[in-house]
Structure formats: structure tokens, C-alpha cells
Amino acid sequence: MKALFIGDVVGGPGRRGLAAAMPGLKEKHSPDLVVVNGENSAGGMGITERTAGELFDTGADVITTGNHVYRHREVYDFLDRTDRVIRPANYPHANPGKGHTVIEVAGTRVGVINLSGGVGLTVSRNPFHEVDAILARIEADIVIVDFHAEVTSEKVAMGWHLDGQVAAVLGTHTHVPTADARVLPRGTAYISDVGMTGSRTSVLGVKPEQALESLIAQMPVKFETAEDDVWVMGAVVDVNDKGLADSIEAVLVPVSP
């Protein structure tokens, strides 16, 4: 089975870029499963039912999120109603949404788990304890983990912690693709960050001049989503019949000049 994972989709430029690139990605990689991180899909921060719908229209089977998932209150009810958009599992149990899901792909049960890092981000439970608890009860043949975390040390540690237990640990949140994609010794594909789907002429998807003004002046600045030089970033994982990875390949595709 091949799984295509798409990194943080940032605003309208990211959504449109993904829609434009997906036919080519499907032709090249023939994925059986498409997972998209959509936590920045609505105006560059947060997700709504409408933007989730656009991501599903591109071919997403499951949408993961992260620390901006609750930015738009109108999405709360949708998160409770759907099994295909998930939020970090180690958020408070009473929060809207679910932390993992299981879907059937070509007769195979595929679990997708969304976790948030505990270093530099706010969580209710340790992500290592949380993923252990989920794996103890999940009924799936293949498991893919989106680890939405701030620091690479915590991400790398999660890769080693889950090596041999899941097909892939794919890092998101920092929007900058890392060069450490590999299959760990026991068969888990790992990358610290798959990058973002959005404008590279930006600071993590924000217009550069606005990000610079905020950093230099140390004053509130309204951020707008940058639109130029859109790239689709992610990873493709080839999963074997043991539910572990044979390979991982970074995806870095320019959409517009």
C-alpha cells in the first residue's frame, strides 16, 4: 500500500495549489491513501467545514490538524460529526473532535493518529503515553501518525519510540521540510517535518513584510497568507503487508513560478 501525506495546507493558495498538483501526484505515485494536514487551510490559520470539503474534493481520505484546529468556532460541531477530520489525541477528552480514526482502504484497516508535541505546545497528556494507550486498543492493520510538534528532539524521540509499531511517524507544524526522511531499523518510516503546502515566498506561509514587521517592531500585526511560488510538500510511504514501511520519499512539487 502507498500512502501520500501532504504537509500543512496554508490558506487559499495552499488549497488551490494542492488541487492543481494532485492529479500529477496521483499519476506519479498511485497512492491508495491520502492524508492531508489541514489545520491552516482556512485563511492561513484553522480549518472550517468548507475548507475541509475542498481538501476532500482534491482526494484526501483523512484530514489531520494541530494547535490551530479550534481557531474557528463554527467547526466544532463538524469535528464531532465527522470521523475523517481528526485533532490531536492528547487534547482534553471533552474537546470537540476525535484524536484518531480507522478507515478501510482496499480491504485493509488503516489507522491514522494525530498527536501534539508537549514541548512548546499546550497538551493535556504526554504524547508518548497517549499514543501507547491508543495503540493498545486500536484495531488496524496499518497505523500512520501525524506528530504535530515544535521541536525536532521530541519528534525524533517519537520516531524511535514507535519504531516497529507503526508504518510512519510524519512530523508537521514547523512548515519547513527536513532532510532526514528514512526508514528506522524496525520498519517505521520517519521524517521530522514534511513541510507545508503554500507559498515559499513567505515566512511559514505569511507575507514576509508582515512577519518581519512583527518580529522587528514587536507589535501586533495582522498576518495575510502569501500567494506567490506555491509548493506542495509531503511524503510518500510504501507500506508492506506486515504494516511497516519499505520506503519513504519526500514530496516537493512546485505549482506556480
Active site residues: 68
CB 40 within 8 Å of CB 26: no
Rg (the chain; Cα; Å)? 17
The count of C-alpha atoms lying within 13 angstroms of the C-alpha of 58, restricted to the half-sphere facing its C-beta, is: 29
The full DSSP string for 50-107 is HHHHHHHHHT-SEEE--TTTTSSGGGHHHHHH-SSB---TTS-TTSSS-SEEEEEETT
Max Cα-Cα span within the chain? 55
CB 65 within 8 Å of CB 85: yes
All three cell numbers of 117, joined, read: 508535541
Residue type, 143: V
Q: Where are the beta strands (DSSP E) in 92-167?
A: 100-105, 108-116, 142-148
Give the β-pairing of 2-6 and 100-105: unpaired
Q: What does the buried/exposed string (b/e) look like for 155-182 if buried means 16 or more CB atoms within 10 Å of the residue's CB?
A: bbbbbeebbebbbbbbbbbbbebbeebe
